[in-house]
């Protein structure tokens, strides 16, 4: 695949409660991709602490290829300190292990909950 196939300039925003997990938002993202027949290229995920809401952005292209996608969130546990200069090797290993439990990954994103839980969200081909 040529890198040009990854280029995109359209976006859609999805918002929902974090406490129920990402499943409700994931279904909306997958439904949008299927209904609009888009080529999903990227995701962004942000946890808004003040509103206790999860925001997922989907980057995509229209006109041409389209394929089914799904999102899956995997907890990596407590992230610990985010101090500059910290060795993140253990956390990187947990990320690699999480990726090994899913297939056909298109991209990933991370978010941290109020409690310090690090969650890795994968977008993959369905």
Question: Which DSSP helix (H) or strand (E) runs through 30?
Answer: helix 23-36
pLDDT at 20: 63
H or E element in which residue 29 lies: helix 23-36
Instruction: Please tell me the chain's helix, strand, coil percentages from 3-state DSSP, rounded to the nearest 5.
Output: 25, 45, 35
Secondary structure class of 116 (helix, strand, coil) = coil
**pTM of the full predicted structure?**
0.91
- Per-residue pLDDT of the chain (126 residues), as tens digits, is 588 888 899 999 999 987 667 888 999 999 999 999 999 999 999 988 888 899 999 999 998 889 999 999 999 999 888 888 888 999 999 999 999 999 999 999 999 888 889 999 999 999
């Amino acid at each position: 695949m040529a890198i040009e196939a990854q280029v995109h300039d359209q976006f859609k925003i999805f918002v929902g409660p974090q406490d129920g997990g990402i499943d409700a938002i994931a279904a909306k993202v997958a439904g949008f991709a299927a209904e609009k027949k888009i080529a999903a290229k990227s995701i962004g995920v942000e946890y808004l602490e003040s509103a206790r809401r999860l925001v997922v952005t989907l980057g995509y292209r229209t006109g041409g290829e389209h394929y089914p996608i799904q999102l899956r969130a995997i907890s990596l546990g407590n992230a610990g300190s985010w101090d500059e200069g910290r060795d993140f090797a253990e956390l990187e290993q947990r990320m690699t292990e999480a990726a090994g439990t899913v297939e056909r990954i298109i991209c990933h994103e991370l978010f941290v909950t109020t409690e310090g839980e690090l969650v890795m969200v994968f977008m993959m081909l369905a």
